[in-house]
Structure 1
């Protein structure tokens, strides 16, 4: 983890002078009230694409060990280490192993410090310094990419100021981003380096006024110096300033979300950006049953190169289909109309989603996708859960027909 000089901001100063929310009895509480954690996640992933690549069959095990300290006058610490290991033959391209003849399963082998942080809690919020997990709103713009075996974490400082019930102001300064493609392979990977270098600032204001209305306003200034929008594009071509407003809420069982954002170039991006984002969503939830329909737009861009609206720090697997065909927005943009939901079944949860993809500019039909998953706890072993998951993308004017299937076991202690 790199060391950087972090400039204070008003939010951080307010937190540092605020009264302590909870004080430990003694310095020894840091150790005596600490606890260890263990997370084991085995996954089998199969990828079959209608192209010249051989089918991928990947078996990986993610082992995560953590040590959480107790609290002493609001101060606590966390260290967490991950190891991702391949099991069996390397019949897949993990983006680093040189198996370019196979379909991609982006879970490279390696060990890395996932989190290493100091946290200070007060009555008005908290400050976190070090390598940490950051998830803002629904993770459409900033998330942890927890689906991949190597999680995305951030080196920097985050402060959250909560002066009133339901109101929070978050600021984060990012000096480095540890991507799911790490820990190895920094140079020669313009679209997926192990670490994204640069200086970024995240501002997020959220106010849960009442269940019928929750508001989030944000501005994310991303200086991503070594991240390119395409293998042949210039470094920094995903640096951007994204500013938006998100409204959500629920009227009894009916929920809604409306969101709009604008994106401009930032931090010396050689491409001139002027993109927009729109999301409209309606849902119905009763007990364990959920039905949801939505429409999401990431605009295309004018001019040479790919100037479409991008979300480089998002947890992208949550959006636009589990087959992950649109991790980088195409130059013509994308319109995603989707319908799906979940229901309880046999002690677990079954969910299914259907997506219809079109270009934002020109209206070309990219393709459709069907996603289905079933997950449940294993009753005979405490803290053990299992999941089966399937994605089928039928290509039209973008990509190729793609089938993906996963089996997963996860144990948490």
Structure 2
């Protein structure tokens, strides 16, 4: 049986996943575009306590196979800015840092060097909390909105589709997933949202950067009412060894 306790405090000043398509008057200069942009900044301090029976390291006896309780205190810092549109272009950059203050837990790296981050081998005796320490680029993209009700985005970006069961940033974890590639959002048709994307890299919640495949997305959503909608989608992936709905598809990645 697995029991988790999570206490989180957040100071948020973030952009919505999909920006409002109502475009204000564009700034006259690039400097004005920077000044009138929006922050992509948040700080989240979290304590997590996990108790889990069994599933201890393979070299332990059955009588002593329980994992030690995982206890972790981490701070996630997101610092970024997105400029206002200038000649239909806007630029966004966001850095991420996940710092451990208490690391009595298995962060899933298990002594393996991953993107410059390594956990101590003895941490495998603790219950798993997938929050490795990490510093890097969380988002870095260029938006073009030269066609009405359309947004083309190129670069590293977060994506959350529908109920994030299949495609999402897994924001529950401190180091969220991010996708590298191109996406197109169109809202020209009444009550209809069309999202197309091609991604050739993904940074997973373990901070592993996967570039051994690609993901192509087609998602069409028609809103019947403010609370009901119909969605048709195709998610075509050539990545290997990705558990359905787990490794970078939104849900079940705790």
Q: Secondary structure at the match of 2:212?
A: strand
Q: Does 1:106 align with 2:121?
A: no
Q: Any conservation in 1 of the 2:139–2:156 contact (CA below 8 Å)? A: yes
Partner Cα distance (2:196, 2:169) in 1: 17
1:184-203 equivalences under 5 Å are 193-195=208-210, 197-203=212-218
Partner Cα distance (1:214, 1:312) in 2: 27
Give unpaired runs (5+ residues) of structure 1. 1-19, 183-192, 230-237, 239-308, 319-323, 325-413
Structure 1 pair 93–196 and aligned structure 2 pair: CA distance change class (3 A): farther
1:314-325 equivalences under 5 Å are 314-317=249-252, 324=254
Name which one, 1 or 2, has greater alpha-carbon Rg: 1
Q: Any conservation in 2 of the 1:69–1:77 contact (CA below 8 Å)? A: yes
Q: Any conservation in 2 of the 1:147–1:317 contact (CA below 8 Å)? A: no
Partner Cα distance (2:25, 2:87) in 1: 4
Q: Any conservation in 2 of the 1:23–1:74 contact (CA below 8 Å)? A: no
Q: RMSD in angstroms over aligned alpha carbons?
A: 2.2
Structure 1 pair 60–203 and aligned structure 2 pair: CA distance change class (3 A): same
Partner Cα distance (1:212, 1:147) in 2: 24
Partner Cα distance (2:150, 2:84) in 1: 18
One of 69, 79, 94 as aligned partner of 1:80? 94
Match of 1:204?
A: 219
Partner Cα distance (2:227, 2:142) in 1: 36
Q: Any conservation in 1 of the 2:70–2:127 contact (CA below 8 Å)? A: yes
Q: Any conservation in 2 of the 1:179–1:196 contact (CA below 8 Å)? A: no
Partner Cα distance (1:102, 1:25) in 2: 53
Q: Does 1:61 align with 2:64?
A: no
Match of 2:52?
A: 49
Match of 2:163?
A: 138
Give CA-to-partner distance per residue, 1:13-36, whole Å, 9 cap, x none.
xxxxxxx95551413232221244
Q: Does 1:116 align with 2:116?
A: no
Q: Secondary structure at the match of 2:224?
A: strand
Number of residue pairs aligned between Structure 1 and Structure 2: 209
Q: Any conservation in 2 of the 1:30–1:70 contact (CA below 8 Å)? A: yes
Partner Cα distance (1:219, 1:79) in 2: 29
One of 191, 203, 207 as aligned partner of 1:166? 191
Structure 1 pair 111–170 and aligned structure 2 pair: CA distance change class (3 A): same
Give 1 or 2: higher strand fraction. Answer: 1
Q: How far apart are residue 313 of structure 1 and its match?
A: 3.0
Partner Cα distance (1:212, 1:115) in 2: 30
Q: Any conservation in 1 of the 2:196–2:219 contact (CA below 8 Å)? A: yes
Q: How far apart are residue 155 of structure 1 and its match?
A: 0.3
Q: How far apart are residue 315 of structure 1 and its match?
A: 2.3
Partner Cα distance (1:80, 1:132) in 2: 10
Partner Cα distance (1:149, 1:159) in 2: 27
Partner Cα distance (1:33, 1:21) in 2: 13
Q: Any conservation in 1 of the 2:27–2:84 contact (CA below 8 Å)? A: no
Match of 1:405?
A: none
One of 24, 27, 40 as aligned partner of 2:29? 27
TM-score by length of 2: 0.75
Give unpaired runs (5+ residues) of structure 2. 1-21, 55-65, 110-118
Say which structure, 1 or 2, has more relative contact order (CA 8 Å, 6+ apart).
Answer: 2
Q: How far apart are residue 317 of structure 1 and its match?
A: 4.5
